Amino acid sequence: MTDLILSLDVTDRSEALRIAAAVAPEADAIKVGYPLVLAAGLGIAHDLAELGLPLIADFKVADIPNTNTLICEQVFAAGFSAVIAQGFPGPDSVLACVDAARAAGGECYVVAEMSHPGARTFFSEGVPERLCAIVAETGADGIIAPATRPERVRALREQVGTKKILSPGIGAQGGDPAAIAALVDGMIVGRSIYGAEDPAAAARAYAPYRR
């Protein structure tokens, strides 16, 4: 299965709810990050949860273990079903997120390599592979890997085996769903869906790549 994950980076509450409701029948999960939560409040998660799709909190949690625990407890109490953490703070920080996810019956994903051009500065020279080792060590559910570089996703698949790969960078950042869908478990798509005149139709265009 390759899921379609709507990245709902909209900063108006009612527009976010309207787009989410329209796209929900065409999507498998909704990812929410700082843009929407800072604009509309964490309570937006409860409203979105009513659509019945898994909700992923893209807060790229990256602090000491105790702070990560406190952040993730808030995330899951708000109604999210998964959280995204950074791996560079180290295994104990990631484990805090994994433990909080488990306590809530949720999931934790770790950023292994980012999708934008500048990511190459630090997500290089074996670092993504070391981050995948932290995923294995902590029992996290999977990684975030760049749809803009399918060859890197292929290499990281070797590292994570059957753990899930969720992949942003499709559409607005230039990633091609035809090149990435078969390599990953989830395609994360933001602007090319929520920025379209008809977001539901834009989401439907990804249907051939949902398996």
Q: What DSSP letter does each residue of 144-175 carry, written as one string?
A: E--TT-HHHHHHHHHHHTTSEEEEE-BSTT-B
Among 104, 172, 179, 183, binds ligand U5P (CB under 6 A): 172
Q: Is 169 in the site for ligand U5P (CB under 6 A)?
A: yes
Q: Is 27 in the site for ligand U5P (CB under 6 A)?
A: no
Contact 3, 210 (CB under 8 A): yes
Q: Give me the residue label for tokens 């900063």.
A: 11
Q: What DSSP letter does each residue of 127-141 carry, written as one string?
A: HHHHHHHHHHHHT--
The C-alpha atoms of residue 90 and residue 189 are separated, in whole angstroms, by: 28
Length of the chain: 211
Q: Is 191 in the site for ligand U5P (CB under 6 A)?
A: yes
Q: Is 33 in the site for ligand U5P (CB under 6 A)?
A: yes
**Cα dihedral across residues 104, 106, 111, 114: positive or negative:** negative
Supply the minimum distance, in Å, between the C-beta of residue 192 and ligand U5P. Answer: 6
**By rule CB under 6 A, what string of x and - marks binding of each residue 75-114 to ligand U5P?**
---------------------------------------x
Among 106, 142, 150, 171, binds ligand U5P (CB under 6 A): 171
The C-alpha atoms of residue 43 and residue 135 are separated, in whole angstroms, by: 29
Q: Give me the residue label for tokens 């990245």.
A: 7
Other C-beta atoms within 10 Å of 101: how many? 24
| 209 Cα distance to chain centroid | 18
Supply the minimum distance, in Å, between the C-beta of residue 89 and ligand U5P. Answer: 16
Q: Which pair of tokens denotes residue 79?
A: 């109604």
Q: Is 173 in the site for ligand U5P (CB under 6 A)?
A: yes
Among 36, 71, 143, 189, binds ligand U5P (CB under 6 A): 189
Query: Is 191 a known ligand-binding residue?
Result: yes
Which residue number is nearest to ligand U5P in terms of Cβ?
190
Mind telling me the catalytic residues?
58, 60, 63
Supply the minimum distance, in Å, between the C-beta of residue 1 and ligand U5P. Answer: 20
Residues annotated within a binding site = 9, 31, 115, 190-191
Site residues for ligand U5P per CB under 6 A: 7, 9, 33, 58, 114-115, 144, 146, 168-169, 171-173, 188-191
